[in-house]
A = this chain, B = another copy of it.
Amino acid sequence: MSDTNKLYHQYSDILKKIADVKYASAVLQWDQETYLPAKGADARSRQLATLNELAHQLFTDDKLGKLLQELITRTDLGFKERRNVELTLEEFEKQQKFSSAFVRNMSQAVSTAFYAWIEARKQNSFLIYEPALTALVELKKEEAQLLGYKTHPYNALLDQFEKGATVEILDAAFEKVLEPLKALMTEVMAQPKPSVEFLNQHYPKQQQWDWGMYLIKQLGFDFDAGRQDISEHPFTTNFSARDVRITTRIDEGDFANMTWSCIHETGHALYEQGLPDEEYGLPSGEYASLSIHESQSRLWENCVGRSKPFWNHYLPVLKNYFPEQLNGINADDFTNAINCVEPSLIRTEADELTYHFHVFIRYSLEKKLINGDIAVKDIPGYWNNAYKQYLGVNVPDDKRGCLQDVHWSHGSFGYFPTYSLGSFYAAQFWLKAKEDIPALEKKIADGNTSELLNWLRNNIHCHGKTYTSEELCKMVTGKALDSNLFIEYLRNKLLN
């Protein structure tokens, strides 16, 4: 083994141990959101804080710093290995900016906010959430100061979810799409409204669960390398590429809620299960970015899972689960209903078009929060106004308003814009996949989605974090991200 190899080996051993602690923390968090008994919350918060503190201590250890400084000078590193070292060095320098105490406080504040959010949703009152969220927002402001930024403190937070993203870039991106989306919304809503009532009949819990499990398996989710459970808010997490956990929730009065959450999380999970397991703990074994992660979930949820070919195949199967509820419904009726454009209250249930107004509203709100332009106590008022302004809907209560999403309670400020970027990437990847795979939609209509999965595996999943979102997009599609393609995709889909 060359000297460089030896050093790289030492480096990768350390990273794997850090990953062990981070994944252990992820297991505790998964358990917290699925199975933890109520009284276990306090101990769990401190256990998570200790693990996060330990992971941070391991990551900021001098020994790792010296190894990285040495390795970065080596000219005999392979391409992937060099990228790993570069990315780890960036992360190392970032972690140096945080003290152990800060990491511990943040972890505790996140846990406290999480339980406060659960309780606030139960009682449908933002007031219950306000104190914990206020404390957390103050810490996020401190985080932005510690990290440093140009022009806007929110940039420091954005960068952690999507490298290089700034308010300047995102403001421009939203400006570019919101007008065409508004115009398209007007056109679409002038069309006859499809019948959607059949989606809101009684769909019993157990049948929904069975159907969801069936569908997930069909899409290629490997149940020997993962599982699905129930949680308050659907999410995907993983403890290695061979242990990927997704969750869902079931609303007996709304068929759509669970089904597309299942497909969405499966999209995330297929990405995680497709990452190179032998790169465990290294950047090359991690997802590229959150927008690319989201491109995978949105591609499966929308480009595939709301397409007519897909339901040509699956509707007859679905009717076996719900023969009465779907009696007389054909694939056209079904696809029209699940693509009905209608401004609404809940992001995760929104159609593909109005979805981006939801994202934009929270993005704009977060910018102001972190900048101090608005205070936490002003959130409900701001929220309800914005929903009226952009979506024309009246928010009846906090649960269906600003309490709907879990992200803040995970400490994730700056995450939301990746949802829109992810949708744009999804459309661009989807159009390219259709070029590359002969008769893809015909195959999907035959129930064959494995060729698409293989295409994603070979073009995206296998690369881990070796390329940035932009590099990956160019490699895969031959061009930079172009949100016009998303608008084009939507127009084709939604206009008769």
Contacts and interface: CB of A to CB of B under 8 A. Distances in A.
A239 B38 contact: no
A15 to B, nearest CB: 12
A23 interface: yes
A89 interface: no
Contacts of A222: 39
A28 B37 contact: no
Interface string A13-33: 000110011011101100100
A50 B21 contact: yes
B225 A39 contact: yes
Given A20-B47, A23-B47, A27-B31, A243 B54 contact: no
Interface of A is mostly: helix
B27 A43 contact: no
Contacts of A23: 43, 47
Contact of A44 (B28, B38, B49, B239): B239
Nearest to A20: B50
A43 B226 contact: no
Contacts of A46: 16, 20
A224 B38 contact: yes
Contacts of A280: 43
Contacts of A40: 225-226, 239-240, 242-243
A21 B39 CA distance: 19
A35 interface: yes
Contact of A21 (B36, B51, B229, B239): B51
Contacts of A242: 37, 39-40, 42-43
A341 B242 CA distance: 47
Contacts of A223: 37
A474 interface: no
A239 B47 contact: yes
Identical copies of this chain, number? 2
Contacts of A479: none
A388 interface: no
A227 interface: yes
Interface in A42-90: 42-44, 46-47, 49-51, 54
Contacts of A16: 46
A223 B35 CA distance: 11
A227 B37 CA distance: 7
A174 to B, nearest CB: 39
A229 to B, nearest CB: 8
B51 A24 contact: yes
Contact of A243 (B21, B25, B39, B229): B39
Report which residue of A17, A37, A225 has the largest number of chain B beta carbons within 10 angstroms of its beta carbon.
A37
Contacts of A35: 227, 229
Interface in A132-185: none
Interface of A: 16-17, 20-21, 23-25, 27-28, 31, 35-40, 42-44, 46-47, 49-51, 54, 222-227, 229, 239-240, 242-243, 280
Please list the 5 inter-chain residue pairs (A to B) with the smallest Cβ-Cβ separation, ordered nearest first. Answer: A40-B243, A43-B240, A20-B50, A39-B242, A39-B225
